Chain A
Amino acid sequence: MAYPYRDDRETTTILSRHMGEPEARSLSGWLERGGYEALRKAVQMEPDEITEVVKESGLRGRGGAGFPTGMKWSFMPSEPSGPHYLCANADESEPGAFKDREIMRWTPHLLIEGCLIAARAIRAEHVYIYVRGEFFPVIRVLNQAVVEAYEAGYIGESVCDSGWGCDLTVHIGAGAYIAGEETGLMSSLMGGRAEPWMKPPFPAQRGVFGAPTTVNNVETLASVPGIVMNGSAWYRQWGSEKSPGTKMWCCSGNLTKPGNYELELGLPLGEIIHDVCGGPPEGRKVKAVLPGGSSTAFLTADELDCVTTYEGLQEAGSALGTASPIVLDETAEIVPAMRRIAQFYAHESCGQCVQCREGTAWITKILRRIEEGDGEPRDLDTLYDLCDQLTGRTICVLADSVVFPLRSSLDKFRHEYEALMRRSASVAT
């Protein structure tokens, strides 16, 4: 078996095509697979031409927010007054997401190629790949690939002998969720604590080291070479008008065949869970799904016919996020699951904004109390109030990230919270 849990249905793969092929990691193996052709093409293109192709392709950021990539690039000044930087966000830290590490582990050159094409588009002179510190095997593979690419002239003073130069550095983070937030990433890259900053200034105005910067997710950048090579129409043959292309789906939880699947955007969520991943173990039913990772709202079993596009999941009241569905079946309890999610965000809050620092920790404490049977009905009012307070009032969206699952769990699984409280009442009497 090659890469585990490959989708056994007929699908076209762009990102995961060479996963499971150890030879694809080496430069020679990569070249045999058509590697760096897109970069050769890109260095002959004008920066704005590249941006235009990516814009037309409709590629959207794969880090969670889904911002159109080409548009993000177009915010960079077209007449540089100083250095520009590209940061590849390889700090993949959303609970449930495990796609970027696989892209880098199997096809490091795909990321490098994407980085250099993007760097050319935004007129960057230096690319930083900010890798999560715990990804030891990934970092080893990536570093090896960077060395090879430098030696072969795909990175350096004259990329593909075009006369255009660009450097690339792999920067190893120290493992903080918030370093995956773009301004937090840049703070960390500059040697500070990974603390997000208030926008404006936006990264394209004033980013890392004070220079215009674009931060793109690994999967986003890995999608770029195919688009540049084959054109925007090719990319748009998959997905919807607003969500074109393919996407890595990191499926986890109570599934028979959890794993990474590259799928066209727009399949019904239920199809991914049941047909692709085999559904929950025999004889059990789906109770809830966090469709886009831990920071998206819960969907119930009745809501699985929603379409897995950015707009489709938004309509369903959740979000595509990092496309990392976490499936909970009947054997799972919502309150402990929600407490564990809240505990994660409380642990990872950088602690700048009061709402997030104190709120995430307090939410965790309340949930733990409810979980242990000491809850009171008014705790739910407090939790709802905290949901309001943690929404849209902080520097970054970490606080909002805990609210999405929390509020939806309160709305949709209130009975599970109340059941725990009844337990407490019966003990008391």
Chain B
Amino acid sequence: MTEGNDLINLIIDGIEIAVEPGTHVIDAAERAGVLIPRYCYHPGIPSRPAQCRVCLVEIEGQPKLQPSCKMTVTEGMVVHTASEEAEDARRAVIELLLVNHPLDCPICDAAGQCMLQDYALETEQLRSRLHEEKLVQGRDRIADDILYFADRCIICTRCVRFMSEVAGDETLIVAQRGDRNVIDTFPGRDLDHPFQGNIVDVCPVGALVHEDFLFKARFWDMDQTASICPGCSTGCNVTIDVKENQIVRVKPRHNPEVNSYWMCDHGRKHLVMSNRGERADVPLIRPDGRLVAADWSEALAWVADRLLEVTGGDAVVSPDSANESLFFLRELLDRLGIGGGSFRVPTGEEATLAGFPKLALRAERAPNTTGAELFGFARVDDPAPSPAGAGLIVLEDPLADHEPEWGGEAAFFLYVGGRLSSAARNAHAVLPVTGFAEMEGSFTNFEGRVQRFHQALRPPGLARPAWMVLSRLIAELDLRRGAETRTETPLEVGQAFAAMAVATPELGGFEWDSIGPKGARLVAAGDAVSADVA
């Protein structure tokens, strides 16, 4: 932190505030709780062309209104963001933007989260003085899955500058001049970049939209949930937009330590695709050769009885599982005397974001490989089923690419997962668990950052979080092994996390509620409680 006497003091709308030298007025105002409208300025894009002119403010001593995105603070500066002149200029910018902007909000994907719509209402522009015809520019497919509605475009050039300054790919340009200005691809080049989806996110209006999302949902019909992208080991912070219990869209959520304001296109598609597939939604047991439905008490009791009959065995887990689930599986395996356990990691090509190189689509296409290793599971290329006659427990690996007979020779094959592939159907019992978007939990990303995700979807049928299922199975086992009282089982994720943190030195000192929006880095085992809990 900067020393107090190095700070610059200024007054914004009567609010005294001290900020670091070099801070721009627009950011200082935001810290003072004054949100100055902005279009061209985006905190994640380095350049500040100051061209949209909607952030003009009055600065005492300056003869003209000044763009607050461009002006840096000076000692004793007095800023008025809502003076008569500033408000007049802002009203005019909005009126002028609406001169050629179609009022097609009823069919625009951005309606409800559109900065032009918001400011038009804020500046009370319900009628236009325009009597002339609007300029019609049409639309364009600017990339494989991105449409450009030129009429809606306000030429803030955020998309152009994202591509050139953040993605490092100068493919987008402004073509033409004056009010004929449109965004286009550079002649002879196509927009095809693994991070291009961010141009849709930075668009302050509905000019750039994902074709996949086109006309799918109104903003106000969706629920937003803070989550972590499971597409690779980076663990980008995301917001999942859900309509009618389906993920319809995923947007990046700011985390300066992980993904800044961005995410890759692979992550977006990966999450939307996760709606697909057949789900196990009721516990299944095989008391007499056939899988039959059971309720949870019956299923857990039956599985516990069977597990007591097994000696030795193996486990296959998934790096898509939450830390809490992996922890309770390890606890279960310890009680059964089964060591080891392995997991596979799907891989793909890496792609780094030039302007924020910490953010990459990483080769490891799973969110929690670090977590799986933390709980003692080994990374393998192809997990072999347990030797014939031994136990086999599979946690969440969908086994989709295995031979249909895989696992069939195990003495007892327990499948704890949500998807029923042919191999999974060989199990003696299936305990249905929630996918990551249907539960709360945490992942540990490639650099050991523990990040929480929240529940976005209702789980199907009787599916429950794996940590809940496994902890209760442990309690059943303990009872059968003569425990005097029922082993305490967590009722909610905070308790599950607490149990995990107590037993895991690397998580020493963490509490569910203290892991902030930036996540918390693992500490070296045995180290003091000095996690950089943000």
Question: Using a CB–CB distance below 8 Å, which chain A residues touch chain B?
Answer: 176, 193, 195, 197-198, 346-355, 357-362, 365-366, 369, 376, 378, 382, 385, 388-389, 392-395
- Complex contact A355–B174 (CB within 8 A): no
22 CB contacts below 8 A, A to B, read A195-B49, A197-B49, A346-B179, A348-B178, A349-B178, A350-B177, A351-B176, A351-B178, A354-B53, A355-B96, A357-B155, A357-B178, A357-B179, A357-B181, A362-B96, A366-B132, A369-B132, A376-B131, A389-B96, A392-B63, A393-B56, A394-B53
A366 and B99 alpha carbons, distance in the complex (Å) = 12
Find the residue from A351, A354, A355, A388 having the highest chain B CB count within 10 A.
A354
Residue pair B89, A389 in contact (C-beta under 8 Å): yes
Give the shortest distance, in Å, between B170 (CB) and chain A (any CB). 10
Q: A392-B64, A392-B65, A393-B64 are in contact. List 15 more A-B contacts (CB 8 A).
A: A193-B174, A346-B178, A348-B177, A353-B53, A354-B53, A354-B97, A355-B93, A355-B96, A358-B179, A361-B99, A361-B100, A385-B92, A393-B56, A393-B65, A395-B51
Given A351-B155, A354-B97, A395-B51: A361 in contact with B70 (beta carbons within 8 A): no
Complex Cα gap A389–B54 (Å): 12
- A355 to chain B minimum Cβ distance, whole angstroms, is 6
- Pairs A-B, 7 closest by C-beta atoms: A352-B51, A358-B96, A351-B181, A365-B132, A349-B178, A361-B179, A389-B92
The proximity string for B residues 267-287 relative to A, scoring 1 for CB distances below 8 Å and 0 otherwise, is 000000000000000000000
Once the chains bind, are B92 and A369 in contact (CB under 8 Å)? no
Which residues of A sit under 8 angstroms from B50, Cβ to Cβ? 198, 395
Q: Is the CB of A354 within 8 A of B132?
A: no
A392 to B89 Cα, complex, angstroms: 11
- How long is the Cα–Cα vector from A198 to B63 in the complex, in angstroms? 16
Is B130 in the interface zone, CB < 8 Å from A?
A: yes
Of all chain B residues, the one with the shortest Cβ separation from A368 is: B132
Could you say which residues of chain A place their CB within 8 Å of the CB of B89? Answer: 389, 393
- Interface-central residue, B49, B52, B56, by most chain A CB under 10 Å: B49
Contact of A360 among B52, B176, B178 (CB under 8 A): B178
> Which residues of B sit under 8 angstroms from A352, Cβ to Cβ?
49, 51, 155
User: Which chain A residues lie closer than 8 Å to B53 at the CB level?
Assistant: 353-355, 393-394
When C-beta atoms are compared, the residue in chain B nearest to A198 turns out to be B50
- What residues on B are CB-neighbors of A389 within 8 Å? 89, 92, 96
By a CB distance below 8 angstroms, the chain B residues around A382 are 129
- How far in angstroms is the closest Cβ of chain B from A175? 11
Interface of chain B residues 128 through 154 with chain A (CB within 8 A): 129-133, 135, 154
Could you tell me the distance between the alpha carbons of A347 and B49 in the complex, rounded to whole angstroms?
Answer: 21
The interface residues of chain B lying within 8 Å CB-to-CB of A355 are 53, 92-93, 96
CB within 8 Å for A353 and B51 given contacts A359-B96, A369-B131, A393-B64: yes
Residue B67 at the chain A interface, CB threshold 8 Å: yes
- Report how many A-B pairs have Cβ atoms within 8 Å: 93
B-side interface mostly: loop
Residues in B with CB closer than 8 Å to A350 are 177-178
| A-side interface mostly | helix
Residues of B within 8 A of A357 (CB): 96, 155, 178-179, 181
CA distance A350 to B88 in the complex (A): 24
Question: In the complex, which residue of chain B has the Cβ closest to the Cβ of A385?
Answer: B92
Which residues of the other chain, B, contact A197 by a CB distance below 8 angstroms?
A: 49
| Most chain B CB atoms below 10 A, which of A198, A346, A350 | A198
Find chain A residues with CB under 8 A from B97 CB. 354, 358
Cα separation A349 to B96 with both chains bound (whole Å): 14
Q: Which of B131, B132, B174, B178 contacts A347 (CB 8 A)?
A: B178
A-contact bits for B153-193, CB 8 A (1 contact / 0 none): 01100000000000000000110111111000000000000
Nearest Cβ on chain A to B524's Cβ, whole angstroms: 45
B residues 208-230 touching A (CB-CB < 8 Å): none
Which among A348, A361, A385 has the highest number of chain B CB atoms within 10 Å?
A361
Give bound CA distance, A355 to B174, whole Å.
18
Evaluate whether A362 and B132 lie within 8 angstroms (CB atoms) in the complex, with A352-B51, A353-B53, A355-B96 already known: yes
Residues of B within 8 A of A195 (CB): 49
Nearest neighbor of A365 in chain B, beta-carbon distance: B132
B96–A176 touching, CB < 8 Å: no
B174→A351 contact, CB < 8 A = yes
A165 to chain B, nearest CB (A): 34
Closest chain A residue, CB of each to CB of B173: A193
What's the least CB distance linking A273 to chain B, in Å?
33
CA distance A232 to B179 in the complex (A): 47
Chain B residues with CB under 8 A of A198: 49-50, 67, 70
Chain B, range 42-63, C-beta contacts under 8 Å to A: 49-54, 56, 63
**B103 CB, nearest partner CB in chain A, Å:** 15
Cα–Cα, bound, A399→B18 (Å): 36
Please, how many angstroms separate the alpha-carbon atoms of A261 and B63 in the complex? 38
A353: chain B residues within 8 A (beta carbon) = 51-53
Asked if A354 and B54 make an inter-chain contact with CB atoms under 8 angstroms apart, the answer reads yes
- How long is the Cα–Cα vector from A353 to B157 in the complex, in angstroms? 11
Q: A349–B179 contact, CB under 8 A?
A: yes
Q: Which residues of B contact A394 (CB under 8 A)?
A: 53
Most central of B64, B93, B96, B97 by chain A CB within 10 Å:
B96
- State in angstroms the CA–CA spacing of A354 and B98 once bound together: 10
Q: Which residue of A lies closest to B135 (CB)?
A: A361
A193 to B132 Cα, complex, angstroms: 29
Also in contact, A358 and B174, with CB within 8 A (given A351-B181, A369-B131, A389-B92): no
Q: Are B52 and A354 in contact (CB under 8 A)?
A: yes
A360 to chain B, nearest CB (A): 7
Residue of A nearest to B154 (CB): A354
Contacts of B177 in A (CB 8 A): 176, 347-351
Q: Which residues of B contact A392 (CB under 8 A)?
A: 63-65
Q: Which residue of B lies closest to A398 (CB)?
A: B178
Q: Which residues of A contact B135 (CB under 8 A)?
A: 361
What residue of chain A has the Cβ atom nearest to residue B51's Cβ?
Answer: A352
Task: Give the distance in Å from the alpha carbon of A352 to the alpha carbon of B51 in the complex.
Answer: 5
C-alpha spacing A91/B37, complex, angstroms: 36
Contacts of A358 in B (CB 8 A): 96-97, 99-100, 179
Most chain B beta-carbon contacts within 10 A, residue among A193, A360, A376: A193
In the bound complex, how far is the Cα of B56 from the Cα of A203, in angstroms?
Answer: 23
CB distance from A387 to the nearest CB of B (A): 11
B window 80-135: CB within 8 A of A = 88-89, 92-93, 96-97, 99-100, 129-133, 135
Q: Write the nearest CB–CB distance from A371 to chain B, whole angstroms.
A: 13
How many Å from the CB of B78 to the closest CB on chain A?
20
CB distance from B207 to the nearest CB of A (A): 14
Among A195, A357, A385, the one with the most B-chain Cβ atoms within 10 Å of its Cβ is: A357
In the assembled complex, the CB of A105 is this many whole angstroms from the nearest CB of chain B, namely 28
B64 contact set on A, CB distance < 8 A? 392-393
Output the least CB separation between B97 and chain A (Å).
6
Return B314 CB to nearest CB of chain A, in Å: 62
Interface pair B93/A351, CB less than 8 Å apart: no
Measured CA separation A349–B178 after assembly (Å)? 5
Question: In whole angstroms, how far apart are the Cα atoms of A176 and B176 in the complex?
Answer: 11
Contact A351 B56 (CB under 8 A): no
B52: chain A residues within 8 A (beta carbon) = 353-354
Contacts of A393 in B (CB 8 A): 53, 56, 64-65, 89
A401 CB to nearest chain B CB (Å): 14
Taking the closest CB of chain B, its distance from the CB of A126, in whole angstroms, is 26
Closest to B40 in A: A352
**Roughly how many angstroms separate A378 CA and B64 CA in the complex, as a whole number?**
28
- Chain A positions within 8 Å of B176 at CB level: 351
A359 contacts across to B, CB distance below 8 A? 96
Across the two chains, which residue of chain A brings its CB closest to B157?
A: A352
**What's the minimum C-beta distance from B50 to chain A, rounded to whole angstroms?**
5
Cα-based distance from A301 to B332 in the complex (angstroms): 100
